[in-house]
Structure 1
Amino acid sequence: MTSRTATVTWTAANARRTARQGLVSPGGGTPAEVVAALPAAHAQVLSAAELSVGLRATDLTRTDVRGALWKDRTLVKTFGPRGTVHLLPMAELPLWTGALSALPTGRNPFAKDARMTPEQVETVLAAIGDALTGAELTADELSDAVVERAGALSLIH
């Protein structure tokens, strides 16, 4: 029995990746199906995620992506790979949650001076809970409400 091995070049690997992710020839599908093929869409800036998903499908608009996220709930915006905000397919959220929870903790990518103390974290969490009790707030309104309740905490300690 003889064994044959194939050599994969960078060019071939990149060509396969771009084709599988719908960048060579955009296909069809729902926003969740497109995101699942990526397997996540970077969404630190939502408009960038909308563009990323829209480029990979022939008939999707940013309204479709927003509908999948906020109305249909087939996408979820959360911390994903690399600890940054991504769109993930809602159907795959348990898989991602399990995988991401297996990452080592204790590594914090932020400088020490950019972190809150445990006491500051508790103060902010209490302020968030208080602000959201019986209220529906935008992110900006929540931010203002937390500062109002917790004060402008110094993050440098």
Structure 2
Amino acid sequence: MNSQTPSSRFSIDQVLAWRMRRQFLDGPGGSSAEAVVGRLCGVQAQVASAAETAVAVRREPPAGGETGTALDRRTLVKVWAMRGTLHLLTAGDVADFLSLLAAARTWEKGSWQRTFATTGQITAIAAAVGEILPGRVLTREQLAGEILERTGDASLTGPLSSGWGAVLKPLAWQGLLCHGPGDRNRATFTSPATWIEGWTGLPEPDEAAMRVIPAYLGAFGPATMESFDQWLIRGASRKASLRKWFGDLSRSGVLTGVTVDGVAAYARTVDLDDIATAEPAPRVRLLPAFDQFVLGPGTRDEHVVAPHRRPLISKAAGWISPVVVAGGRVAGVWEQTDSGVTVTLFGEAGRVPEEDLTAEAGRIAAISGGRPDLVVRTV
């Protein structure tokens, strides 16, 4: 990292307050669904209602339905992206993120090939999809059938039919496949070249990293190189590439080496003054399942999620619970039922004003159409 200045030594409270503001959680809301998704470097979207809520709670006033509208006008793209999970990304950003995911070549690892498909099979599937999808929209069953016909490899029947889409994700990362419009709640697939106006393919990873890394740090920084890599692809990036990217950005002055409570990290140079002057973030927010506030730094970030509470946040089958955020930290969890919103606060979080929780329950009800009645308990 490059040399530090006195203004590059921060407390975690300053950092969390700054992140709240940058993520449209304390202050003016995002101007559009695209603005929110872009600022957050994507919104996880396995559960469509959670993605919709993640955007809606960051808008003023909160309003549902905006992600669906943006998908219809193709300014947002649904695609397998970070950590192999389904995301909404802006049409202008998606190629950069996919480029870095493809650069890791995770499908070439021996363990991946033994579990899912060989490199040769993925190459054959990619060649088939490159011929099949442009100009078309196909269901999973239709796409699998045409791939099997072209490859003549019957052993791919099971992997291609899997709802997890493991053998299709490398194709998404290589810019060959994205989700198309919904078909009676069935997933459809098309080519990014068909879906995105002006699509020119994936940039070189070295070029894409110069945009993706600052974008990540602009929402979730200051952060370490390792935190970025865990968020991107569970730590699977090539370490020499990571060091080069962060080094190039530091030497050019885009990034600055900082410390957060004595721990070395990186921040965008342009953000240093704002972090240094960030005021405490007292606002209480209810955020949906799979929210980027938690996923950006990761559930193992002890400043955001207390280690002994992690099992309540990161659950079986990759489920990330809806969370209560107070003071920039996870202070509890919540759920919506037919009778309203039930909040479970963590005892160590201290006092969380019930009037704030009531207001947030009202926001959630306005988005979902549910009841705003609030029940609060503490564990």
TM-score with structure 2 length normalisation?
0.32
Amino acid at match of 1:105: R
Report the count of equivalent residues. 149
How many angstroms does 1:92 deviate by? 1.9
User: Which among 33, 47, 50 is matched to residue 49 of structure 2?
Assistant: 47
Moved over 6 A (4+): 132-135, 146-150
Compare 110-119 and 71-80 and name the one that shifted more.
Answer: 110-119
User: Which among 9, 12, 31 is matched to residue 29 of structure 1?
Assistant: 31
Find the counterpart in structure 1 of residue 104 from structure 2: 104
Bigger helix fraction = 1
Bigger strand fraction = 2
User: Which among 9, 12, 16 is matched to residue 10 of structure 1?
Assistant: 12
What is the alpha-carbon distance in structure 2 between the residues aligned to residue 17 and residue 97 of structure 1? 25
What is the alpha-carbon distance in structure 2 between the residues aligned to residue 110 and residue 66 of structure 1? 37
The question of whether the paired residues in 2 share the 8 Å contact of 1:26 and 1:55 is answered with no
1:86 aligns with 2:87: yes
User: Which among 64, 67, 70 is matched to residue 68 of structure 1?
Assistant: 70
What is the alpha-carbon distance in structure 2 between the residues aligned to residue 10 and residue 137 of structure 1? 47
What is the alpha-carbon distance in structure 1 between the residues aligned to residue 94 and residue 17 of structure 2? 28
Pairwise CA RMSD: 3.7
How many angstroms does 1:62 deviate by? 3.7
Amino acid at match of 1:81: M
What is the alpha-carbon distance in structure 2 between the residues aligned to residue 105 and residue 123 of structure 1? 15
Amino acid at match of 2:56: G
What is the alpha-carbon distance in structure 2 between the residues aligned to residue 39 and residue 26 of structure 1? 18
SS of the residue corresponding to residue 78 of structure 2 reads strand
1:142 aligns with 2:142: yes
Amino acid at match of 2:105: T
The question of whether the paired residues in 1 share the 8 Å contact of 2:75 and 2:90 is answered with yes
What is the alpha-carbon distance in structure 2 between the residues aligned to residue 58 and residue 110 of structure 1? 46
SS of the residue corresponding to residue 91 of structure 1 reads coil
SS of the residue corresponding to residue 65 of structure 2 reads helix
